[in-house]
Structure 1
Amino acid sequence: MSTLARYEHFGVDLAVLDLSTTEVLMLGTEVVFPPLAFLLVLMLLALAAHQAVIVLLHRGRRTVPYVIAVAAGLLGLVMFVRGMVGLLWVELSKREFPGLTPICLGLGLPLVAYGLWIARELRSPGRHTRGVNEVLILVGLAGMTVIGLFWATNVFAGAYGRGRAAEAAAELHTRPMVVLDLTQRLYLPEDLAGVDQFALDDGGSFTVRCQGLRLLTEAGGRLFLVPPDWEGAGRRTIVVPNDDSVRVQFLPD
């Protein structure tokens, strides 16, 4: 999703790049770390909070666990309602912080269930056996949490890819400059900023030189090139073969 969103910013569909599974995974590796770190921190905090609740229940303290139960129940209810609103109101989910709706849906009802569990333990601690219905409820809540986390990660990956693409578009001047020797001119606007085409008279088969384009990526035996001023009037991605029909030079910034 991150790689798809990144190249869509430049008008290139991921299928056109014809990347292998390994290449796609390598390009998207960086997006894995933020949600994975968030998930691990969330798990550690949840385990620590649950352990604290267990200690308070064993010591016979009722006030703090009761407050936690009420807070968890209310927060979970609010999150679930917010998640349902985002699910049904598409425009809201498009403008929200990435992943807010799936996170609310995934964690809302589990928080409500946790608040109810604390309340039950306060009434009759340790005297409950899990029946079939309770096991099914737990499985359903776990499944909802997993789906919500996967969905949130998917949304975050898309937003991350778009952010990385915008960052790359603003820093195209740092990408390698490409000099192309061609047998015919590229069909480009005459006023495309930073890109020049002129006749090449060296007696060979290449008659035109084009310089100034920046390398976006190389994939499937083709070069995907963009003008250095992407935010200007020249929003386009030029694709040329990376074979003997084109003579290519890369110049550092």
Structure 2
Amino acid sequence: MTQPSAGEPPVAPTSDRLLPLLKVATEVGSLAALLTALLYYFGWARSEAQARAFGADASVFDMSTADYLLRSIDALFIPVFLLLVASYLGIRVHRRLTGSHRVGSVREGGPEPVPSTPPRSAIRWARWLRLSWLIPVAIGIPLTMIVPVFGHITFPLWVAVGIVGTAYGATLHRVFQGRPLPSLTTVALVAALLAVTLFWTAERYATFVGGEMAVGIKAAPADELAPVAVYSVRRLNLSTDRVRETITPGPEPGYGYRYDGLFLLQRSGDKYFLLSDGWNDGLGRLIVLPDNDSIRLEFGG
């Protein structure tokens, strides 16, 4: 084994240099997996709420994983933006409370900088933060009673704030007192609780978004969905008077039946899911047609 020459710093083994990279890759992979699972669950909950509003179930749509992920992205822009802003502000507050700035100047060959002593205000904040578990009781429950919809959606979020605040305050208190940090078991338990509240919040928000989208579609499907004319080889016998049937030669030979008054909700699982008008009058229908040669769809108009 080659020894380093005099005056040269020792070279760390390759395994020691790879450990930090592996740690970062593991953390990034875990966050990506959690985010993917959250997006999938949000897309499913949103689709389930929307399907139930039209008298069906999300399983009927037979959507793929990519469909659920794509359906969650547009509704999560604002929540993710607010979460990133809150994370940035949290880092700034953490640095201020822990006194992470260094006192004194650093000179070459001089002593290492000494951490500043945490101010009294930081110690008081640490004590108050340990009472954050009261936040769901003091804020979440009253909001649910005063503003039911908003309170119902945000209650899991207040629970998460209570968990984070309590754990953070207890950790700060330990640091200021020179006591050991919480054990890995405690950290894992707090992380698991946060994951549960995160999915809990996503479920309630997704259900609200899906329900509101269904309300808008029911009120004015022509404003929310693309109109479509359906040409069929055989008579479809649609059970709603909001769809007009015309016996006429279609755009191709053999398509002798045309149906107007339908709107495309989505296509998935090799099926077309169409809506008729009249939902507010109890006359609306969700119509499922196979995507095969016996059906031809024409958009626009």
For the aligned pair, the TM-score class normalised by the smaller chain equals 0.7 to 0.9
Match of 1:4 among 36, 42, 48: 48
Aligned length: 237
Structure 1 segments unaligned to the other structure (5+ residues)? none
Relative contact order, CA 8 A, sep 6+: which one is greater? 1
- Shift of the 211–39 alpha-carbon distance from structure 1 to 2, 3 Å rule, reads same
Match of 2:258 among 206, 209, 213: 209
Find the counterpart in structure 1 of residue 293 from structure 2.
244
Find the counterpart in structure 1 of residue 134 from structure 2.
78
Match of 2:84 among 18, 40, 46: 40
Contact 2:271 2:291 in 1 (8 A): yes
Structure 2 Cα separation of the partners of residues 141 and 189 of structure 1: 53
Find the counterpart in structure 2 of residue 219 from structure 1.
268
Contact 2:140 2:151 in 1 (8 A): no
Report the alpha carbon displacement of residue 138 of structure 1 after superposing the two structures with TM.
3.1
Match of 1:184 among 235, 238, 242: 235
Which amino acid counterpart does residue 273 of structure 2 have in structure 1? F
Deviations 1:141-182, CA, capped at 9 Å, x for gaps: 233223222321232222222223333334421333222234
Contact 1:80 1:109 in 2 (8 A): no
CA-atom RMSD, angstroms?
A: 3.5
Which amino acid counterpart does residue 52 of structure 2 have in structure 1? E
Where do 1:192-207 residues align within 5 Å?
Answer: 192=242, 195-200=243-248, 205-207=254-256
Match of 1:58 among 97, 112, 116: 116
Q: Indicate yes or no: 2:178 matched with 1:127.
A: yes
Report the alpha carbon displacement of residue 197 of structure 1 after superposing the two structures with TM.
2.1
Structure 1 Cα separation of the partners of residues 118 and 56 of structure 2: 62
Contact 1:19 1:219 in 2 (8 A): yes
Structure 2 Cα separation of the partners of residues 201 and 32 of structure 1: 46
Contact 1:98 1:159 in 2 (8 A): no
Structure 2 Cα separation of the partners of residues 18 and 145 of structure 1: 31
Report the alpha carbon displacement of residue 41 of structure 1 after superposing the two structures with TM.
1.9
TM-score, normalization by structure 1: 0.75
Structure 2 Cα separation of the partners of residues 85 and 9 of structure 1: 27
Where do 1:106-185 residues align within 5 Å?
Answer: 106-119=160-173, 125=176, 127-130=178-181, 134-174=183-223, 175-182=225-232, 183-185=234-236
Structure 2 segments unaligned to the other structure (5+ residues)? 1-44, 101-114
Q: Give the match's secondary structure for 1:28.
A: helix
Structure 2 Cα separation of the partners of residues 18 and 91 of structure 1: 38
Report the alpha carbon displacement of residue 211 of structure 1 after superposing the two structures with TM.
1.0
- Shift of the 113–242 alpha-carbon distance from structure 1 to 2, 3 Å rule, reads closer
- Shift of the 139–27 alpha-carbon distance from structure 1 to 2, 3 Å rule, reads closer
TM-score, normalization by structure 2: 0.64
Task: State percent identity of aligned pairs.
Answer: 22
- Larger-gyration structure (1/2): 2
Stretch moving more, 42-51 or 139-148: 139-148
Which amino acid counterpart does residue 130 of structure 2 have in structure 1? G
Structure 1 Cα separation of the partners of residues 66 and 249 of structure 2: 43
Contact 1:82 1:101 in 2 (8 A): no
- Shift of the 67–146 alpha-carbon distance from structure 1 to 2, 3 Å rule, reads same
Q: Give the match's secondary structure for 1:214.
A: strand
